[in-house]
């Protein structure tokens, strides 16, 4: 049997970061939204004893490891272990989500691999604890839609949201390492350059804006505590953020830990317009247009032998 699943990229409409915890993570409160920008993972079984092989293709395949460090490989091994079977699989990942970009592309691959492996092995257990083990954003990638994330981001509950939002996704090739961006934030806070939030809580104004379904309302309440840290490590991003707004975006911000920048448009045509203008200015490697919210991880094809 050959099974394919698609899993979405995420953006954070709010990303509030608390103090560093003893386990090396930061407590956070985030409002996630899934994008209709998806990676695809296809898996089929190999002969017993052959182990796992992982190939990467697609627009953003460059530099993605196919070895044990790939979260999709870790994910299938976890499911095989719990299903009590030997793990002999061929994994093919089609990368359409920019890599090391702050869009949780690696987490999307892990989520898709969990769902496909569960299907292949007939594993009916809860995938949520496995998602939590694999990374902070994997649980959201499974769920999709709009959700509130707490703890280190892995505890997710759906949030009411109306409307669809059109984004320009401006990607840079120099990936920022997520741990480094969090460390930089701690450093900036130690130096007194930025402050920790007084209260780690969802922002009511943003939640109300999501209920209203108005892009203008959402634009006024987007926030990302990691942005000063990402900008300190990659100062050129500020220009991208400014240009997006000069080019007519309702708002722009760094996506998660960056270096991708996202800009909110009024509608799809407006997003295409802004994307065309940004593309013409040679500031970014790739400029894409995507819509949120989108579905979580889902099986898109099953081929029986």
| Residue 273 is among the residues annotated as catalytic for this protein | no
What are the DSSP calls for 247-261, one per residue?
Answer: TT-SEEEE-TTSS-E
Evaluated on CA atoms 113, 114, 115, 118, the torsion sign reads: positive
Contact set for ligand C5P, span 102-161 (CB under 6 A): 135-137, 152-153
Q: One symbol per residue from 177 to 196: x for binding ligand C5P (CB under 6 A), - otherwise; what is it?
A: -xx--x--------------
Min dist CB 22 to ligand C5P, Å, is 12
Asked whether position 74 contacts ligand C5P by CB under 6 A, the answer is no
Answer whether 110's CB lies under 8 Å from 75's CB. Answer: yes
Query: Distances in Å between the alpha carbon of 224 and those of 77, 93, 229, 291?
Result: 34, 29, 10, 19
Distance CA 119, CA 65 (A): 24
Cβ proximity to ligand C5P: between 65 and 179 the closer is 179
* Least separation in angstroms between CB 172 and ligand C5P: 19
Choices 24-32, 48-56, 75-83, 265-273 (CB under 6 A): range interacting with ligand C5P: 24-32
DSSP H helices, the chain, are 71-83, 105-121, 128-134, 138-143, 178-190, 204-212, 215-220, 227-233, 237-246, 268-279
137 is catalytic: yes
**39, 95, 109, 137: which is the annotated catalytic residue?**
137
- Of 20-28, 77-85, 242-250, 267-275, the segment contacting ligand C5P by CB under 6 A is 20-28
Which tokens go with 279? 């593309």
Binding positions for ligand C5P, rule: CB under 6 A: 24-26, 28, 135-137, 152-153, 178-179, 182
Which residues are tagged catalytic?
A: 10, 137
């Amino acid at each position: 049997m050959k099974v394919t699943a698609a899993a979405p990229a995420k953006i954070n409409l709010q990303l509030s970061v608390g103090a560093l915890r003893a386990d090396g993570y930061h407590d956070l409160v985030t409002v996630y939204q899934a994008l209709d920008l998806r990676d695809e993972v296809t898996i089929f079984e190999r002969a017993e004893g052959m182990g796992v092989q992982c190939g990467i293709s697609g627009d953003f395949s460059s530099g993605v490891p196919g070895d044990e460090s790939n979260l999709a490989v870790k994910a299938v091994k976890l499911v095989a272990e719990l299903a009590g079977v030997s793990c002999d699989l061929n994994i093919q990942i089609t990368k359409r989500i920019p890599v090391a970009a702050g869009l949780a592309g690696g987490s999307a691959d892990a989520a898709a691999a969990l769902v496909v492996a569960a299907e292949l092995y007939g594993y009916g257990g809860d995938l949520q604890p496995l998602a939590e083990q694999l990374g902070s954003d994997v649980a959201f990638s499974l769920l999709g839609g709009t959700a509130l994330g707490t703890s280190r981001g892995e505890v997710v509950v759906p949030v009411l949201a109306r409307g669809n939002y059109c984004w320009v996704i401006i990607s840079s090739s120099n990936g920022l390492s997520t741990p480094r961006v969090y460390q930089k934030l701690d450093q900036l806070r130690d130096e007194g350059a930025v402050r920790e939030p007084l209260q780690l809580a969802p922002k009511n104004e943003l939640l109300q804006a999501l209920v209203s379904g108005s892009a203008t309302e959402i634009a006024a309440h987007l926030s990302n505590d990691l942005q000063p840290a990402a900008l300190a490590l990659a100062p050129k991003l500020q220009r991208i953020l400014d240009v997006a707004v000069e080019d007519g975006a309702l708002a722009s911000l760094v996506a998660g830990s960056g270096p991708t920048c996202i800009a909110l448009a009024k509608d799809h045509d407006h997003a295409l317009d802004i994307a065309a203008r940004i593309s013409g200015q040679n500031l970014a490697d790739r400029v894409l247009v995507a819509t949120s919210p989108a579905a979580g991880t889902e099986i898109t094809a099953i081929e029986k032998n």
